[in-house]
Amino acid sequence: MPKLITSWGDRVKTDLAKLDIQALGRVGVLMGGRSGEREISLMSGSGVLEALLNKGVDAHAFDPGLRCPTELAKEKFDRVFISLHGRYGEDGTIQGLLELLNLPYTGSGVLASALSIDKIATKQIWLSNGLTTPDFEELTANSDWNAVAKHLGLPLIVKPANEGSSLGLTKVKSVDELPAAYQLAAGLDKKVIAETCIIGDELTCPLVGDGVNAEALPVIKIIPPQANYDFHNKYFSDETQYLCPTGLADEVNTAVQKLALAAYRALGCSTWGRADVMLDEKTGKPYLLEMNTSPGMTSHSLVPMAAKAAGIEYADLVLWLLSQTLVKKVGA
């Protein structure tokens, strides 16, 4: 069962009251990068940087999309806050470089980051742990579209296996739409996944901590316009509604938290993350969609929303996440 959320909020406040800001040293905020989520990363990173500066941290922006990442060594940072999303920032690559530089960083390590961004690998691990996730298969240009539709049912979802923020995602309602959906996704990634479309409430559950000590934060219910939570509605629309508390029965929220926590632990995630979940309207059963190991920190982002519900404001959340690099060893 998830631990009481108030205990996490209380511990964060206690930890921050004892924190020596000077001990954080010179901090790099990695933002921008080279992925399709660059624009969102710049928004996240700007918010993180402002929060750290307001807390008195000696923080500096570093954009590995404009500068060679190896220049990190020249900056003489003592630690970094990763505000990169997608490829080259959330997939284990930058984490590997930071490991080589012996530079502490926020979030999950190399393996958990690499596994979590690959939706096919993620699902295989979840299934091996008995966790519920929609049926799926990897698509190729030679896939039998009729067989795919028969296996997964219609509508179904087609998306790149290694992208986030709904980039390249198509909700396919007929077999005739499958080739174009595949081509769209394949234009962004060499691996394309199709999965059964679960109809129901769209939920997300942020997670914090490591291993057996990890905890689930409050669940958020997402209500996008026309039930379309695409890139625009995620980051730029004021029409998307976010409910925290969700308004769902307590046992439903608890089941989602329990599933999300098991998914986080199965992948070996650490410090923080966010599991996206669909609640089947017919059965009431939650299904895992994906795990985010470097969640957004924009004005529309979900982890800050859940943290606030747990009693922690944005700037304190940012500072707490960074402070975890003081106790977590590189490579752990």
Written as six digits, the tokens of 174 are 């007929």
Cα distances from 165 to residues 59, 67, 103, 231, 254, in angstroms, run: 27, 24, 28, 6, 26
| Active site residues per annotation | 37, 165, 235, 274, 276, 290, 292, 296
> What H or E segment, with its residue span, contains residue 147?
helix 145-152
Instruction: Tell me the C-alpha distance between 58 and 302, whole Å.
Output: 26
CA-CA distance, 120 to 61, in Å (whole number)? 33
DSSP label at residue 105: B
Closest CA to 189 of 163, 164, 169: 163
Q: How far is CA 290 from CA 66, 73, 90, in A?
A: 29, 33, 13
